[in-house]
Structure 1
Amino acid sequence: MTVDLNSRYGLNPAHSEVVEACQIIAPCTALDMGCSNGRNALYLSQLEFNVTAIDANPSAINMLQGIIEEEALTNIKAYVYDINRASLDADYGFISCTVTLMFLDPARVDAVIADMQAHTLAGGYNLIVCAMSTTAYPCPINFPFTLKEGQLRDAYQGWEMVKYNEDIGTMHNGAQLQFATMLARKPS
């Protein structure tokens, strides 16, 4: 990696779970779901993944497209896409969905996860980090959707759990809450 594009453009560093996943996932086709202004997508592109970055926010996508053009990046494409549609049209070796599900329509989350699974290549990976609301740790932020204990693990029955935990974490704003973190590998 020659240049850290995230710091060059004033973006936060890539999510720590994306960085960790890239220790075991070889560059492949990747989807960054809910990419915002592209911190994870840019990181993946610098590691030579072929990245598709999607988000419902047109101004975030415009910002990312500006960086792509400025840097003449050929291995990253950014599109405005409503993840609630659950209608991906390509298959990927790695789908990253960090801190995104909690902003979706709760009635669509099961369909979104099923769509992610259907569009993951055999032997490919899904990374999900999502807020939880549990009896022990009720979520202090009024997200449209939060996971319940074991819900994410249950949704990935039959996949290899490379990493799974439901630990306490801290949001950018300092709020403490429980997160489900999962890196799962689809059977070959």
Structure 2
Amino acid sequence: MSADLNQKYGLNPAHSEVVSACELVSPGDALDMGCSNGRNALYLAQRGFKVTAVDVNPGALGQLQSIISQEGMDAITPRLYDISDAELDADYDFIACTVTLMFIHPSRVDAVLADMQQRTRAGGYNLIVCAMDSPDYPCPMNFPFTFEPGQLSAAYEGWELLKYNEDLGTMHNGARLQFATMLARKPA
């Protein structure tokens, strides 16, 4: 298998937070929420995770399925799923949700977070990266949802926050905005 499938298929590299989470999180069952064309799923699979990759876009999933077929991979299962439904049907050791929550309706975010937490095995991890909107840094993009300062960490009270920050970052389109970034471990 090629060292970097993302490069081979012209995809963006895996999200930097997924890459750094892999330094702490041992391979197991992973869920890539809002996988798009699979940049994070491919990275995780190459590191020994068994990945369920879900997205609401059938075209993106088709692209990922094409790569899986060409590479003869069995570590990734693409599934059409709207994360807004908050009805995951399996448990995971690692759930990654990077730059995805800001595209769902604000009224569904609490349910999605609760579902992620419930479907994370004891001792498992949630990784979330999401845009913020704060008085100091109003969000320049018109996302349906953005976190307020402290909102994400409050939602994970009782979990071990291995990484948490609300730093400025840059979207892949160059827009500068504040992100809530969290890697949390569920109590064992």
- Tell me how many residue pairs correspond in the alignment: 188
Q: Find the counterpart in structure 2 of residue 23 from structure 1.
A: 23
Give the equivalent residue in structure 2 for 1:178.
178
Provide the residue aligned with 2:102 in structure 1: 102
The equivalent residue for 1:160 is 160
**Distance across 1 between alignment mates of 2:173 and 2:9:** 21
1:105 positional shift: 1.0
Q: Deviations over 1:85-144 (max 9, x none)?
A: 000000000000000000001110000000000000000000000000000000000000
Partner of 2:90: 90
Q: Gapped runs of 5+ residues in structure 2?
A: none
Specify the code of the residue in structure 1 equivalent to 2:127: L
Deviations along 1:152-176, one digit per CA (max 9) or x if unpaired, are 0000000000000000001111111
Which residue of the partner structure matches residue 115 of structure 1?
A: 115
In the aligned structure 2, how far is the partner of 1:2 from the partner of 1:160? 35
| Number of the residue aligned with 1:80 | 80
SS state of the match for residue 166, structure 2? Answer: strand
Q: Find runs of 4+ consecutive structure 1 residues off by over 3 angstroms.
A: none
Listed as ranges, the matches of 1:144-155 within 5 Å are 144-155=144-155
1:2 Cα offset (Å): 4.5
- The letter for the 1-side match of 2:23 is Q
Q: Distance in 2 between matches of 1:92 and 1:36?
A: 19
- SS for the counterpart of 1:157 is coil
CA distance in 2, matches of 1:25, 1:106: 29
| C-alpha displacement of 1:22 | 0.1
Q: Distance in 2 between matches of 1:129 and 1:142?
A: 17
Q: How does the TM-score come out when normalised to structure 1?
A: 0.99
- Which structure 2 residues correspond to residues 124-163 of structure 1 after superposition, within 5 A? 124-163=124-163
Counterpart residue number, 2:10: 10
Report the CA distance between 1:3 and its aligned residue: 2.1
- Tell me the percent identity: 68
Write the distance in 2 (CA, Å) between the matches of 1:48 and 1:170.
29
In the alignment, the residues of structure 2 paired with residue 74 and residue 169 of structure 1 have an alpha-carbon distance, to the nearest angstrom, of 34
User: Could you tell me how far apart the structure 2 residues matched to 1:48 and 1:144 are?
Assistant: 34
